[in-house]
Amino acid sequence: MIYGRVALIGLGLIASSMFWAIKRGGLAGEVTGYARSAETRAIAREIGLCDRVCDSAEEACEEADLVVLCVPVGVMGAVAAQIAPVLKPGATVSDVGSVKREVIRAVAPHLPPNVHFVPAHPLAGTEHSGPRSGFAELFDNRFCLIVPQEGTDRAAVEQLAAFWQGMGAQTEEMDADHHDLVLAVTSHARHLIAYTMVGVADDLRRVTDSEVIKFSAAGFRDFTRIAASDPTMWRDVFLNNKDATLEILGRFTEELFALQRAIRTGDGQHLHDYFTRTRAIRRGIIEAGQDTDAPDFGRVKKG
Ligand code: NAP
């Protein structure tokens, strides 16, 4: 057991996966939970998500040794302000937001000095959301990036790292700005590209809907899967990671123009060199154990 009582605020994909992973690993004495709607709280009670589902965020946080904010990035600050008065002295407050600089800016000012604020971000997800979408294996062998603030108590940081490791993740520490840039490349821009591709296919009336569905091999289906991700979450990610995303999209556009030009001018060498370089990156990811060559990338399909 790593924490006596853990409070999960927000009961969607990430919080529900955390709960099942906490139970699997025996990492907490009691897990309390809260979500904003009565409907989500009722579902949580029905499926046994959390040892105790509370009707207010404050009640869920009382006496908690660890509070994890699992709500969309845009409401983290408001939730922190709401729970601040009831936080137990010496408790750790963390979050799972996909953006770090803006979350820290929104949350930190509300927290009393006698709690430890240790932001984090598990690099794991699916396109599903809500309390029923979680599963214990979500974080297995995935990274959880921990973003400690200057002067944060080391013991609190290490305890949180041990907690994520107990849920199956590998942990690494990173600075907030660097985190936001890395994620803009690896995740945020990818979502924008998928949204655009699916939007283009939809606009292209010469290709019928049934053809898109019938002939979409794994590649395009993967775009549609990504583009089905939660609209609130992704709106908040782009609004809160504006600079890094715009920086990456600028570079992306330049590369796209270069490829467009190579196609127009018949520069096969450019295309071949480019694709050779990108193939080597894929090999590096497999060698680093972050993916596999197995069909469907070896992932277990859920729900
Ligand atoms: P989700 O499945 O959509 O769940 C969000 C939860 O937050 C819901 O239970 C919702 O309650 C609750 N909520 C929303 N506003 C609230 C408020 N003002 N007060 C209290 N609860 C509120 O989302 P998720 O995918 O778990 O994402 C949660 C966080 O994890 C986000 O910050 C996201 O950036 C981050 N994250 C997501 C992924 C991913 O791939 N999904 C990966 C890593 C990190 P109701 O159900 O009552 O509306």
Identify the CA nearest to 62 among candidates 36, 34, 42: 34
What is the bridge-based pairing of β-strands 66-69 and 92-95? parallel
Nearest-atom index, ligand 1, CA of 230: 3
- What's the pLDDT score for residue 142? 96
> Which phi and psi (to 5°) does residue 66 adopt?
-135, 130
| 237-270: b (≥16 Cβ within 10 Å) or e | bbebbeebbeebbeeeeeeeeeeeebeeeeeeee
Element (H, E) at 146: strand 143-146
Both 276 and 160 in a single domain? no
Identify the CA nearest to 82 among candidates 101, 107, 116, 103: 107
- Inside any domain, residue 228: yes
- What's the pLDDT score for residue 246? 93
Decide if pLDDT at 211 tops 90. no
Q: How many domains does the chain have?
A: 2
Both 129 and 216 in a single domain? no
- Inside any domain, residue 299: no
Both 27 and 111 in a single domain? yes
Q: In a 3-state reduction of DSSP, which class is residue 52?
A: strand
Cβ(29)–Cβ(3) under 8 Å? Answer: yes
- Inside any domain, residue 242: yes
- Inside any domain, residue 298: no
Dist CA 68 CA 12 (whole Å): 12
- Inside any domain, residue 120: yes
Both 62 and 207 in a single domain? no
DSSP state of 75: G
Enter the tokens of residue 22.
């906490």
Identify the CA nearest to 173 among candidates 160, 189, 188: 160
Both 163 and 204 in a single domain? no
- When pLDDT is averaged across residues 238-267 and rounded to a whole number, the result is 94
Distance 33 CA to ligand 1 centre (A): 13
Average pLDDT, the chain: 92
Provide the CA 254 distance to its chain's centre, in angstroms.
27
Residue with tokens 């600028």: 250
Decide if pLDDT at 217 tops 80. no
Dist CA 68 CA 71 (whole Å): 9
Dist CA 142 CA 38 (whole Å): 32
- What's the pLDDT score for residue 302? 41
pTM of the model: 0.89
Decide if pLDDT at 89 tops 50. yes
Nearest-atom index, ligand 1, CA of 126: 40
Provide the CA 14 distance to its chain's centre, in angstroms.
8
- Which residues are CB-contacts of 286 (< 8 A; sequence separation ≥ 6)? 292, 293
Exposed, middle or buried: residue 72 (CB in 10 Å: 0-12, 13-18, 19+)? buried
State the CATH number of the domain containing residue 115: 3.40.50.720
Both 163 and 259 in a single domain? no
Distance 109 CA to ligand 1 centre (A): 21
Distance 60 CA to ligand 1 centre (A): 16
Nearest-atom index, ligand 1, CA of 41: 47
- Closest C-alpha residue for ligand 1 atom 40: 125
Residue with tokens 């927290």: 111
Both 87 and 101 in a single domain? yes
Q: Is the shortest distance between the CB of 98 and ligand 1 below 6 Å?
A: yes
At 201, the pLDDT band (50, 70, 90 cuts) reads confident
271 CB neighbour count, 10 Å cutoff:
13
Both 153 and 230 in a single domain? no
Enter the tokens of residue 240.
């809160």
Both 169 and 209 in a single domain? no
- What's the pLDDT score for residue 206? 67
Both 134 and 215 in a single domain? no
Distance 75 CA to ligand 1 centre (A): 9
- When pLDDT is averaged across residues 198-216 and rounded to a whole number, the result is 72
Q: Is the shortest distance between the CB of 40 and ligand 1 below 6 Å?
A: yes
Q: Is the shortest distance between the CB of 125 and ligand 1 below 6 Å?
A: yes
At 289, the pLDDT band (50, 70, 90 cuts) reads confident
Both 84 and 12 in a single domain? yes
Q: Is the shortest distance between the CB of 33 and ligand 1 below 6 Å?
A: no
Cβ(83)–Cβ(9) under 8 Å? Answer: yes
pLDDT 10s digits, 11-61 = 999 999 999 999 999 999 999 999 999 999 999 999 999 999 999 999 999
Enter the tokens of residue 254.
């330049």
- What's the pLDDT score for residue 284? 84
- What's the pLDDT score for residue 294? 63
Q: Is the shortest distance between the CB of 72 and ligand 1 below 6 Å?
A: yes
- What's the pLDDT score for residue 281? 86
Q: Which domain holds residue 207?
A: 178-287
- Inside any domain, residue 303: no
- What's the pLDDT score for residue 6? 98
pLDDT 10s digits, 138-160 = 999 999 999 999 999 999 999 99
